[in-house]
Amino acid sequence: MNEDEERRRRSGEPAWPTDEDHRKRREEPQERTGFWSPSWDDDGGGSPGGGARPSASKPAWPTDEPADGGRTRHVPVPPRGQQTPGRGAPRPPAGPPRGGRPGGPPPGTPMPGGPDGPTEMLPKADPALRPEPALLTHREPALDEAVDAYDSGPESRELPALTADDKRLRRRRIWRRVRRTAYAMIAVMIIGPIVGFFIAYQTVDVPTPKSVADREGQAITLLWGDGKTVMTKIAPVGSNRKMVEYKDIPQNVLHAVYAAEDSTFETNSGFDITGILAAAYNQATGGVGGGSTITQQYIKKASENEQHTLTRKALEVVKAYKMSKTYDKKDIITAYLNTIYFGRGANGIQAAAQAYFGVDVGKLTTPQAALLAGMIQGPSRSGDQAYVAKRWNYVMNQMVANNWLSPAERSAAQLPKMVDKSKSKTKALTGDMALIQKRVLQEVEIDLGMTEDDIQRQGLTIQTTIDRNAQKYAEQSVKEVMANEPKNLRPALVAVEPNTGAIKAYYGGTEDYDYAWAIQEPGSSFKPFDLVALLKQGKGLGETYDGSDGRKFPGRATPVHNAGPNSSCGKDCTVALAMKRSVNTVFYDMVLNTTGVKPVVQAAQEAGIPKQIPWGDAHDDGSYTMKPLLNEPDGNISIGGGKTQVRTLDMAAAYSTFANGGTRRTPHLVSKIFSADGQLIKQFNDDGTPAFSQDAALNSQIARNVTESLRPIPESSHIPCDKPHDCAGKTGTQQFQDGNTAANANQNAKAWMVGYTQSISTAVSMTAQKNEPIVNGQGKPIYGSGLPGHIWQSFMDKYLKGKNDPAWGLYVPIGKGASEAPDSTFTSTQSSSSQTQSDTTTTTTTRKHGGGGHPGRTTTTTPTEPCGFLGCPTSGTTTTDPPQGGGGPGHGTPGG
């Protein structure tokens, strides 16, 4: 074996056949494709597989394994476009067999010539035969040689700039698409409503006037607190009337209603396109309503749908149109006037004529008819004189504009006088029960967002919280104590159950004005809230202050005085003794220098004094104007004066928080509400809220400390509860002021007694009907321990009789505890006609009504309490007529 063979044997390189073909293969550039490429490069370099390109001098010899470790070698093919040699032409050197490497002899065939014999030359492959690439599944199309292999497509080419004509054509095509889309949308907007209108017209039903009138006649049922006994049934005014006919309605009434609501009623098709557009605009911009015709209003009334939506408006239009085609105009206006709500509980024109003027519809004058027509838009505002006058003027002017009234008649007309509302409305209840009825309906309006008309139309059954016996005891107590007293005095009483917040008794007077709802200065009955603010700072009943009379404080031009024969308690007066004697200087000092004013306001609100209350009459939608309380506090809040004003209801509720161990519950008159078919609509539930601290133990401890300070007061005021009941409470008095300080130095305007056990919290207030001092039958000033105290005592004894009140829990002092013994001489030497714990009186402005107290059941001495607080500053008086619907008499500085 020669050296070359030995080298090839060692390297594993196959030996070339002995008849080497020395013809050079024409070198052509090779084309690479996506899935296959030649196994070697044309430049003689290594192939991608790592093999070497064979040459004429070193032909490749087939072996079992390729030299590159098993990777398949691909045979190069001629470039595209090269012609295959024709028949008889010289053939190129033989290459590997088609399909890859050269094939070997069949298995088992011995090598010719023996093991050491020469290898027989294999036939050479025709280079024109292109082997099939191993990974190709299809034949690639031939690409034109002119194609740029690096051309990435149209994006890389610069398009020719558009000409002006091209741009114009493009714009035309765009606008053509926009126009066609707009036309399609407009067609849908026009055709769609028409189709919808036609379908709705065929399917909707128009209610008959009789069915609507029958529904309006449902009564409201009020139940006592037991949920079984009927308190009263409230039937709408005129519910038992016969519906008026068209011939009974005067022309001036028809014209007034047309002028107010729909001047084109006689000619329109049931709806007004202007009103519809107004409704759509208001809906889109967040406004409310639109101009509805009389027919549309009737449909809305009949369908009981007050929602301000376009869907409701659309159905209303369809029904109105159908009604105008189904009924005569006379039938429609008659149905409308027999069912529309005019306010004052009056449904229908006949009931309205009686409610406002006490006459039948046939006797209404033109000014009266105009007033009634004007109330259709705001029926709940009949008590608002400014609104009534504005609407009346509008209707009268519209009648002139439509030639239904001459200018001369308009000039001569005057706003007609309405009959008193209390006399015009058919009341199911009278006296103090009528006020309960009013407050119950108001609570439903606020809680459910309903109007008075809604409540009447739905015929609700309302279970109240009023205990029938408790209400009887309240009436009896007032009647007994006030039997021989001046008739100008106006007492009020509210009793609240501490563990539920349910109002068990409510006495606001026997007239239309509700004195239990009126705001008044509470005087010294507000001092427990000063104590709460102190306790929350960790200071207790054993803290001492200078209780001297006539003390001066920074920022005040006049000294602060105490009141009563025991007007001072020394330089080191404990808070406990100051509470018992109602020492003004101690509490003024405490609030000014220790707690601050705002913490006192916070304490009062935490206990249950609301931040705001419903004020005046309800608006058209059933909502109320809200009046803030305690929003302008000053130093006078320390003794319940100045601008400190609350309701009798509020004080009963706030003291009930002390009785309930610091857990506050919302006072309420409504327990459950049922629909006309007996389904429960709402049930009042109040789990209670910790009032003074989220720490349950501390919260209860604060309330218990307040109770401890108030326990001695009923006894020392000669108005204790019958044994074994242990009552706690506080009196209060407000001084009367009309600018004449000297003449009214010992006169009072308001008086209070508020007290409780664990089962009931009761507040009693007293004021005068006009802006005048409150005096008893003997002409003596009234204090909290007097008439108010005796009413309170009488009610508590009656209510608590036979009831078992648990004993107060263990008293654990906060801070420094009180250690002094009760001052027995303080109470034993005083007559029942004198307020011994000093219901201090201070000066401020008072409005029309005052509050007061009574000297006692036996009058033996004259009260000697001086003016006392803040040097009795003068202030002007206010109007004598109380505001309707919520405001109360007076605003002044406190007493004791």
DSSP string, 413-432: --PPPPPPHHHHS--SS-TH
Q: What is the DSSP letter of 360?
A: -
Question: Would you give the distance in Å from CA 175 to the centre of its chain?
Answer: 49
Helix H, strand E, coil C: the string for 713-760 is HHHHCCCCCCCCCCCEEEEEEEECCCCCCCCCCCCEEEEEEEEECCCC
- How far apart are the two ends of the chain, measured CA to CA in Å? 140
Give the separation between CA 752 and CA 853, rounded to whole angstroms: 6
Q: How many CB atoms lie within 10 A of CB 199?
A: 11
Residue among 293, 309, 310, 316 at smallest CA distance from 206: 316
Give the separation between CA 488 and CA 750, rounded to whole angstroms: 13
Residue located via tokens 């404990």: 574
296 sits in which H/E element = helix 294-303
Query: Which one is catalytic: 39, 216, 239, 261?
Result: 261
Residue located via tokens 């004094």: 609
Residue located via tokens 């006495």: 507
Query: Which one is catalytic: 524, 582, 656, 834?
Result: 524
Give the separation between CA 393 and CA 401, rounded to whole angstroms: 12
Evaluate whether 89 touches 40 at the Cβ level (below 8 Å): no
What is the phi-psi region of residue 616: left when phi exceeds 0, alpha when psi lies from -120 to 50, beta otherwise? Answer: left
Give the separation between CA 619 and CA 623, rounded to whole angstroms: 5
For helices 251-261 and 366-374, angle between their N-to-C axes, nearest 10 degrees: 30
Give the separation between CA 766 and CA 491, rounded to whole angstroms: 4
Please confirm, yes or no, whether 261 is among the known catalytic residues.
yes
Which residues, at least 6 apart from 737, have a Cβ–Cβ distance to it below 8 Å?
744, 749, 843, 844, 845, 846, 872, 874, 875, 877, 892
Strands 663-664 and 670-674: unpaired
Evaluate whether 705 touches 843 at the Cβ level (below 8 Å): no
Give the separation between CA 575 and CA 531, rounded to whole angstroms: 8
DSSP string, 637-688: GGGT-TT--EEHHHHHHHHHHHHTTTEE---BSEEEEE-TTS-EEEE-----
- What one-letter code names the amino acid at 591? V
Which residues, at least 6 apart from 817, have a Cβ–Cβ distance to it below 8 Å?
540, 541, 542
Evaluate whether 842 touches 641 at the Cβ level (below 8 Å): yes
Evaluate whether 464 touches 225 at the Cβ level (below 8 Å): yes
762 sits in which H/E element = strand 761-768
State whether residue 295 is helix, strand or coil: helix
Q: How many CB atoms lie within 10 A of CB 289?
A: 13
Give the separation between CA 607 and CA 688, rounded to whole angstroms: 12
Evaluate whether 840 touches 639 at the Cβ level (below 8 Å): yes
Residue located via tokens 């890389």: 156
Which residues, at least 6 apart from 814, have a Cβ–Cβ distance to it below 8 Å?
535, 538, 539, 540, 701, 702, 705
Evaluate whether 867 touches 746 at the Cβ level (below 8 Å): yes
Known catalytic residues are 261, 524
